[in-house]
Amino acid sequence: MTTDTTPVPAGARRVDHLVVGAGFAGLCAAIQLDADGERDFVVLEKGGDVGGTWRDNTYPGAACDVPSQLYSYSFAPNPDWSMSFSPQPEIQAYIQRVARESGVLDRFVFDTALETATWRAEEQAWLVETSRGDYLARDLVVGAGGLSEPKLPDIEGLASFGGEVFHSARWDHAADLSGKRVAVIGTGASAIQIIPEVAERAEHLDVYQRTAPWVMPRHDRTYSRLEKAALRHVPGLQKAYRTAIYWGRESYVPPFTLAPAVLLPARKAAEANIARSISDPELRAKVTPDFQIGCKRILISNRYYPALARPTTEVVTDRIARLTERGIVTADGTEREVDVVIVATGFHTTELPITEHLVGRTGRTLAARWKESGMAAYKGTTVPEFPNLFLLVGPNTGLGHSSMVFMIESQVAYVRDAIRTMRRHRYATVEPTERATAAWNESLQQRMDRTVWSTGGCSSWYQDEHGRNTTLWPRSTFGFRRLLARFDTPAYAVGAPHTDPA
């Protein structure tokens, strides 16, 4: 790690803005900066293509559980979505097309990982060291994704299992599951998409369920040619359709409705889904959750329960004790032999690995700050001690019910306005005050007290080690957009003009 007093490496390339990540968030930032005439930027991407989580999650059955007409950029509508909830290859192709057509790809640097970004007081810029050269950037826009680092379970023997083992987000396409004995560990959003596909191919499937999820029916359908033609040619129709979907979801979970009583109809629908899909009372009991609906992500599928009800599937609820060379041993001592283990155990969400590599003005990392104070950012975007740092999909900006692309566009609008403000007033730096950040976070956490995350009796990846929900946005999405519509200078300490590093 470079400290503030060491000389800036001679070859460091100076840029106005450095964006980290080329997923939905980083690409949105790049396109919008370019639209503002901010041409001097670089987008660092550790992978070889755009797409982020949609590039990485290629498991069979991967699809979005938010309607594609809404889960896409407002500035790049796509009348050609094949289904209401599009499959991963279509979403990835959409992101690639938007990137290509936007004309910004010449500023993307692929296969290049951020190693350390250190705030340099003297240069009033971020020194960004990468696996392939260094940069000195006036501001840093981090769109590294909240679900990008796979989390492996801490299960004894995982490394010594003799068959194949891989994480859902690192699918091994060379692995042929036909006629194999397969185990899936986990029953979250990824697993419930994988399980129906694997159940059809495998000779036998063991599903290791630690907590049963709430699963609602998936109202998916294919768009007809006529519908697609209308969406393409009728002026304003696609926008109106998108708006209708947006408000439909917003009223489905309007502000405060995450209170348990208001979620009762959803619970009834999910219970009916179990009753309709599974006839065996023992299996029904196993898959019926014992926590309040909404406390973990509500999942949608029409194929999950039928896959569990197949005679070749077993739902194992005994705790996993260890893996052996041949299979999985549960706490009751039973060993189930398998050929392939698919680990669908989620991602590092509340200890984001990139925060270990961001070193602020006081010399401590963002990870160290958040370890002490909890994960918090002013408006989910900026953090005291970290001047000119903008986090996309930062703390408490996640959603369970609507489109993250909407939240990303709202955050990018805020960042654009921050950059415009800095240019207009010749501010060298902007850094939110501790006071504004604490007030913002307290108000969010107070709202959480009224929601199912405080009363639902479950733990989820939404929550940190103290049980605080530091991941989700507890209000309406239009409220978020409104609050981030303008960069609010009074909440910031601003640095005086300086000699421009770039």
Q: Between vectors from CA 59 to CA 67 and to CA 185, what angle results, nearest 5°?
A: 105
- 65 touching ligand N01, by CB under 6 A: yes
Output the smallest distance, CB 444 to ligand N01, in A: 19
How many residues lie near ligand N01 (CB under 6 A)? 25
| Cα 368 to Cα 116, 140, 321, distances in angstroms | 14, 19, 33
- 472 touching ligand N01, by CB under 6 A: no
- 114 touching ligand N01, by CB under 6 A: no
β-sheet bridge partners, residue 142: 20, 391
Closer CB to ligand N01, 45 or 65, in the complex:
65
Task: Please give the full DSSP string across 36-97, using - where no structure is assigned.
Answer: TT---EEEE-SSSSS-THHHH---TT-B-SS-TTTSS-TTS--TT-SBSS-BHHHHHHHHHH
Which of 99, 125, 140, 155 is the binder for ligand N01 (CB under 6 A)?
Answer: 155
Output the smallest distance, CB 186 to ligand N01, in A: 3
Contact 160, 325 (CB under 8 A): yes
Pick the stretch among 13-21, 270-278, 340-348, 357-365 that binds ligand N01 (CB under 6 A).
340-348
Residue of 330, 336, 317 lying closest to 155 (CA atoms): 330
Residue of 282, 280, 272, 341 lying closest to 302 (CA atoms): 272
Pick the stretch among 92-100, 207-215, 274-282, 431-439 that binds ligand N01 (CB under 6 A).
207-215
Residue of 223, 176, 224 lying closest to 201 (CA atoms): 176
H, E, C per residue of 341-382: EEECCCECCCCCHHHHHEECCCCCEHHHHHHHHCCCCECCCE
Closer CB to ligand N01, 29 or 64, in the complex:
64
- 431 touching ligand N01, by CB under 6 A: no
- 249 touching ligand N01, by CB under 6 A: no
- 64 touching ligand N01, by CB under 6 A: yes
Pick the stretch among 44-52, 342-350, 355-363, 446-454 that binds ligand N01 (CB under 6 A).
342-350
Which of 60, 77, 153, 157 is the binder for ligand N01 (CB under 6 A)?
Answer: 153
Binding mask 276-315 for ligand N01 (x = CB under 6 A): ---------------------x------------------
Residue of 63, 66, 67, 112 lying closest to 92 (CA atoms): 63
Which of 143, 163, 346, 432 is the binder for ligand N01 (CB under 6 A)?
Answer: 346
Strands 114-120 and 327-330 turn out to be unpaired
Output the smallest distance, CB 327 to ligand N01, in A: 15
- 320 touching ligand N01, by CB under 6 A: yes
Output the smallest distance, CB 177 to ligand N01, in A: 19
Which residues ranging from 179 to 198 are in contact with ligand N01 (CB under 6 A)?
185-191, 193
Which of 453, 461, 473, 492 is the binder for ligand N01 (CB under 6 A)?
Answer: 461
Pick the stretch among 19-27, 61-69, 196-204, 355-363 that binds ligand N01 (CB under 6 A).
61-69
Closer CB to ligand N01, 124 or 187, in the complex:
187
Output the smallest distance, CB 89 to ligand N01, in A: 14
- 430 touching ligand N01, by CB under 6 A: no
Distance from the first to the final alpha carbon of the chain:
22
Hey, how many other C-beta atoms are within 10 angstroms of the C-beta on 154?
7
- 456 touching ligand N01, by CB under 6 A: no
Contact 323, 337 (CB under 8 A): no
Three-state SS at 257: coil
Output the smallest distance, CB 57 to ligand N01, in A: 7
- 329 touching ligand N01, by CB under 6 A: no
- 344 touching ligand N01, by CB under 6 A: yes
Contact 162, 325 (CB under 8 A): yes
Closer CB to ligand N01, 188 or 501, in the complex:
188
Output the smallest distance, CB 66 to ligand N01, in A: 6
- 211 touching ligand N01, by CB under 6 A: yes
CA 7 to CA 120: how far, in whole Å? 10
Q: Write phi, then psi, for 197 (nearest 5 degrees).
A: -70, -45
| Cα 487 to Cα 129, 328, 354, 416, distances in angstroms | 29, 53, 25, 9
- DSSP secondary structure letter of residue 222: B
Output the smallest distance, CB 429 to ligand N01, in A: 34
CA 123 to CA 500: how far, in whole Å? 8
The residues binding ligand N01 (CB under 6 A) are 63-65, 147, 153, 155, 168, 185-191, 193, 208, 210-211, 297, 320, 344-347, 461
